[in-house]
Structure 1
Amino acid sequence: MPLFERATLILSALSSLSYVLGAPSAENIALAKKYAPQFRFHKDEIYFPSTVDFFLAGPVSLYDTNGPLAGAPSPLTPSNLDSTANQGTGTYITTDINANLNGFLRGQDPRTSQPKSYVFIAPKANGVVDLFYWIFAPYNLSKKVGVLGWVGNHVGDWERITVRTVNGVAESVDYHAHGDAGSGTIPYAQAPKFSDDRPVAYVSKGSHGMWSSAGTFTYVNAVIFQLKDETSDGGVYWDTQNALYNLNYPDTYTGADSWLNFLGDWGNEGVNNCWWYIIHKECELIDGPNGPARADTLGAAKRKREVSANVLVDNLRMDAPLLHTLATVSTDTSSYTIHLDASGARSVAVEQVCASASSNATKPMEDTDVPLPKLKYTTSYAYVPAQSGMQQYTVTIPACEPGSFITSYSAGVCKEESQCKYGERRRVRAFSSDPTVLGPKTASAVTLHDLDNWVV
């Protein structure tokens, strides 16, 4: 089997639109307000969101690896945060954690103050407008693990949910937590709702990961411990409809929005001197996060790699605007409809990745809050002729072998069937075509229409 270059295709929404940088349109601002979520905090939460202005009033300072950054503005403000060399690359915002844990690091309780949800309004091709509702919390209180103590605390915490709309109507909600955890992407009809049919997001205690229900969710299953998010009803319910800070994406950010250009970390420098670091790369204190204006918001692939069909590296971690591409359970044949400019190519290809559990697998083959153990992956490929000027293709592939289920897929363009360039794989999540049947299902075949453009 030849090697496939998985580098040239980038999943992006920029390909077929001419963007006008500036404020979001009135129509899209109304759309963001129409679907503004309610964030439900754990009943014992004490570290709430805040505005960026509140956090920078701190007290906080700007450091690099040598200590206080020479020439850094003081005080730090939203309009000067990006004013240092290279927009703050290699720097981090720091504070005295112990002195401020009971002060500004507790954020702004929505019951008594006015934090903001920073919503990036991202109009894309094919009728899509993605609405990224971010919250920022000054402090992330992570998890206390047995004899280890606290694991993963950090200053500064950006978390989000995404509502995907198509032609002005919500199609899905994406719940995001801790990189690529959270409840993932679910049909809008199956998301929890409150007033005016708007979505609810359950925010985990301390660490603010986003989930679609109350409960306990394992997102790290290490050799010697687990890290779990806890969500609940009965805490602070924050309706963000009148607390939105609207931002166009992509855009050029100036003035009071210049903080979005900051390329440093939004929190103290972490440590790596804990004895369990060789097993899990988080000690008691870890680095603060990057800001919200990230490449993954647009879904651009970050990694370049070459893989063969029988060596599937890091299959469950990939970059895309949503954690999953939604599909409908099918029977004998999968159908993938994709949007792609194949100019100069001979054919358009789809790669389907199937998995089967090994004999000692202990978890069911459904989407769960812990990655499935010891799966065996196989791939299959199908091709259709490329046509000049054509942007949409439908490719059919036989179902996975009995006992296997689809985990992901990728699109590509080919000069010959043995000379194809593929984009990063995207995870597939299948649901029944019967709206009364709830929850994701394993499927050996799916029907999928991916509205994101795959571009060379």
Structure 2
Amino acid sequence: MEDWYDARNGTPQMEGGDETHHGSLSQAPLAEGVDRYDFMDDGATPRPDKGGIRDDVNDKPGRSKAPAVLIVVDKGHGIVDAFWFYFYSFNLGNKVLNIRFGNHVGDWEHSLVRFHNGTPKAIYFSEHSFGEAFSYDAVEKMGKRPVIYSASGTHAMYATPGTHAYILPWGLLHDRTDRGPLWDPARNYHGYTYDHNNDVLRASTVNPQSPTAWFYFAGHWGDKFYPLGDRRQYRFVGQYHYVNGPYGPRFKELGRDKICGGATTDPCVIKNWIGGGVRSKRWVDVGEGEELRDEDIEKVLERNGATPL
């Protein structure tokens, strides 16, 4: 059994699981709606990488011209969640039997550090429509800050470099991570605080002029799912070559009680080790990809008097 910190009361709760241990966590990670859509791209093809990530001013590695987003959420009872969001212009899906599926324009990924009474306790890595939680002692660090590996193409976030199987057996479908260019989001970001009870986002005093209107966009940040009649689209074992773009940070369970998110009854295991022997992660619904459950979408829309389609 292990301890995990539930935002409902701020005290450790007991949770069973295959990997059971408890630890604390560091300050900040490093890392590489409705039926509406934005950022249309008829070609829907990724652009090649022009090089590493460097600071043009002082030529130090790690700074990206594209800012990350930090959203700090006070849950009460001493619990504070620090969400780091990373936006990528294109998600290049993986291949199965040399057939690629899961492409989409626009890609939001996130990591989450949970603090209890000012002390970091756990970190969550988003991976497609699921994720993993770890303790501070389990993950690689640079100084006191944990290192996150962003997968090639899909940008799913992992604790280690290497191959990471998911959904299909025998490793047929997998992400790859390596020690590529460093992206330090703390060197260029927009910081915010978020009142999850009243759905209010406020710019941080660190950057009081940061815009907030983008946060309330209730559509997909990318192209709409292409129909099978489109020459660019095809289907393979229930999966599609092109899928919907993702919803933005507002739809990522910012008010979650458990660091893992999901239903209250869902297990939340905080691992104290990384390495091999982990079972392939599986999506709840085949082909859902970046989509949310209907109840999650309705929860956000109904709060503002909107009717979900």
TM range (shorter): 0.5 to 0.7
Equivalent position SS for 2:137: helix
**How far did residue 90 of structure 1 move?**
2.2
Q: Which residue of 2 aligns with 1:324?
A: 268
Deviations 1:256-286 (A, max 9, x none): 2111111110110123536645x33x31110
Map 1:260-279; keep pairs closer than 5 Å.
260-271=215-226, 273=228, 276-277=235-236, 279=237
Q: Which residue of 2 aligns with 1:368?
A: 279
1 CA distance for matches of 2:234 and 2:31? 36
Question: Is contact 2:133–2:271 with CA below 8 Å preserved after alignment?
Answer: no
1:138 aligns with 2:89: yes
Q: Which residue of 1 aligns with 2:23?
A: none
- Number of matched residues? 235
Equivalent position SS for 2:100: strand
Q: Structure 2: which 5+ runs fail to align?
A: 1-5, 11-25, 57-63, 203-209, 283-309
Question: Is contact 2:39–2:222 with CA below 8 Å preserved after alignment?
Answer: yes
**How far did residue 178 of structure 1 move?**
0.4
**How far did residue 119 of structure 1 move?**
1.2
Amino acid of the residue matched to residue 266 of structure 1? W
1:297 to 254, 265, 268: 254
Q: Which residue of 1 aligns with 2:293?
A: none
Moved over 6 A (4+): none
**How far did residue 318 of structure 1 move?**
3.7
Q: Which residue of 2 aligns with 1:200?
A: 147
Amino acid of the residue matched to residue 188 of structure 1? Y
Q: Which residue of 2 aligns with 1:218?
A: 165
Amino acid of the residue matched to residue 177 of structure 2? T
Sequence identity of aligned pairs in percent?
A: 26
1:285 to 242, 266, 277: 242
**How far did residue 136 of structure 1 move?**
0.4
2 CA distance for matches of 1:291 and 1:261? 9
2:29 to 23, 28, 37: 37
1 CA distance for matches of 2:38 and 2:200? 23
TM-score (norm 1): 0.45
1 CA distance for matches of 2:134 and 2:175? 19
Equivalent position SS for 2:175: strand
2 CA distance for matches of 1:227 and 1:317? 24
Amino acid of the residue matched to residue 289 of structure 1? P
2:136 to 176, 183, 188: 188
Specify which structure has the bigger relative contact order, considering alpha-carbon pairs within 8 angstroms and separated by 6 or more residues. 2
Question: Is contact 1:218–1:229 with CA below 8 Å preserved after alignment?
Answer: yes
Q: Which residue of 1 aligns with 2:120?
A: 170
Equivalent position SS for 1:229: strand
> Greater strand share, 1 or 2?
1
Equivalent position SS for 1:217: strand
Q: Structure 1: which 5+ runs fail to align?
A: 1-11, 17-33, 41-87, 302-315, 329-365, 372-456
TM-score (norm 2): 0.65
Question: Is contact 1:152–1:283 with CA below 8 Å preserved after alignment?
Answer: yes
Kindly name which structure, 1 or 2, has the bigger radius of gyration based on alpha carbons. Answer: 1
Q: Which residue of 1 aligns with 2:185?
A: 240
Q: Which residue of 1 aligns with 2:43?
A: 98
Equivalent position SS for 2:186: coil
